[in-house]
Amino acid sequence: MLTRQFTLSLRRINRIELKPYANLFASVKPCSCRSEGSMTSVEESDVGILCYISHLPGFRGILKQRYSDFIVNEVDLDGNVVHLTSLEAPSEIAEEKKEKLVDLLDKDYSPTIESFRALAGESDAEKLKDFINQIASGVNKHDEFILLSPCSDKSHRAVVHNFFKESLKLFVTDTIDGPDSVSKSVRVRLNSGSHSGSRRNSKKRKERGDKPYDSRGSDNWPENIGKFLRFHLYKENKDTQEALGLLGKMLGVQPRSFGFAGTKDKRSVSTQRVTVFKQRASRLAALNEKLIGIKVGNFCHVNDGLVLGQLQGNRFTITLRSVSAETEDIVKASATALGENGFINYFGLQRFGSSSIPTHLIGAALLRGEWKAAVSLILDPREGDILFHFCSHV
C-alpha cells in the first residue's frame, strides 16, 4: 500500500461542450428517499450518476485539508494566467493641470455669454452674466447657485449641460424639479474643483433648504485616465464577495462599484482581476498594510469595468494529502490521464439540494410541463414542517 501526497496543476476552461447521456432525462424518476428524522437522503443512483468516466482503478486522498492545498488563478480572455506580482502603485499619470479660479475669471466671457443667449434666451443669459460678474468682483454672494428657466424638454436641457461642460468649465450643472410636475430647471454653480480649497461661498445643506447637489455634475476625473482601476486581488480563505465587501468598507464605496469576471472558492488561495470605479491606485495600495489574508496590486486604469463571464477559465494547483493507492503506477497513470484528457466538472449530489424534496424532481416536473405538480412539490407541507403536523390532524 502506497501512502504519500502530491500536487497537480489543472486548468479548467469554462466553455466545455459535452454530449449528454442518451435517455438520461427519461431515467430521472421519483427517488427511493430514505427518511432520517425530518430529512431524506438521495443516493447517486437516484439521480442518474451510475459510473466513473475513467476505467482506471483510482486511488484515495484528502482534498482541501488546508485551504492552501487549493490554489486558483484566473485565466483572462487572452489566455494569461493571473498572478499578483507587484504591490506598488504606479506613478500617477500626469493630469491635465486644472486652472485656478482667478485664471478662469480673467477670461473674457462676452462671446460665450452671447452664444448662451442664443441657446437659452435673454433672461437666462443676463442671469448668468450677473452671476459671473458678482463672482469676479469678490462679493460674498448670498446665493451660491442660479436656476435657469424651467424647461420640460429633456434634450434641450442636455444641450445646456453640454454647453457648460465645453465652454464654461468655471461652472458645473445639475437638474432639479421645476415649479410643476413636468418641467425641470438646470442649476448652475461654481465648480468646486476650481476653488483651490476655498469654501467661502459654501453653506450647510440645512441653510440652503434645498436638495443636495448631484455630484455627477462635478466630475473632476482626468479625461486622459480610464475611469476604472483594474487590479489583481489575492485572497486566502475568503470568498470574493467577502473580500470586496471589506475593501469597499475601507474605501467608503458601495460593493456595486466593483466588477469581476467570476467568484472564486472560499477555501482556497486565489488570484483574480477586479475593477473599481474612479479610484486611485495609491489608495488601494495603502490598504495592503492593514489587510489580513488579502493583498491587491498590479494596478492599471482601463475604460471598462469587468463583468461576469469575462474570463477563459481558471487554473487550479491542487495538493492531495494522505494519498492511498495500491501502487505508485496507479497514481501516475491517473495523473497522466488527467493531464492528457482533462476532466468533466464534478456533478454530484450537492447539485440536488438538501431539502426533503430533491430539487431535481421539481426541475423534471417543470421540463415536462407539469406545472401543478411542480407547485405542489414546492409548496405542499413536508414531513418535519409545523404545517405538516397541523394538516395531518385536521
Report the Cα–Cα distance between both ends of the chain, in Å, rounded: 61
Instruction: Identify the DSSP state of 99.
Output: P
Amino acid symbol at 258: F
Specify which residues 300 forms β-bridges with: 230
* CA–CA dist 165, 189 (Å, integer): 12
How far apart CA 196 and CA 134 sit, in angstroms, is: 18
Q: Would you call 69 a catalytic residue per the annotation?
A: no
Catalytic residue, chosen from 69, 130, 143, 265, is 265
- 8 A C-beta contact, residue 82 and residue 75: yes
Beta bridge partners of 235: 270, 294
User: Quick one: which of 76, 109, 121 has its CA closest to 272?
Assistant: 76
User: What's the grid cell of residue 290?
Assistant: 492593514
Angle at alpha carbon of residue 286, lines to 221 and 226, rounded to 5°: 25
CA distance 391 to 32: 24
Mapped onto helix, strand or coil, the DSSP state of residue 226 is coil
The rounded distance, in Å, linking the Cα atoms of 28 and 148 is: 68
CA–CA gap between residue 311 and residue 275 (Å, rounded) = 14
Taking CA atoms, 271 is separated from 97, 236, 253, 312, 389, in Å, by 36, 9, 22, 14, 50
A 10 A CB-CB count for 345 gives 8
User: How many residues comprise the chain?
Assistant: 394
Cell 431515467 locates to 27
Beta strands in 178-256 (DSSP E): 184-190, 228-236
- CA atoms lying within 13 Å on the CB side of residue 6: 15
Which residues belong to the active site?
265
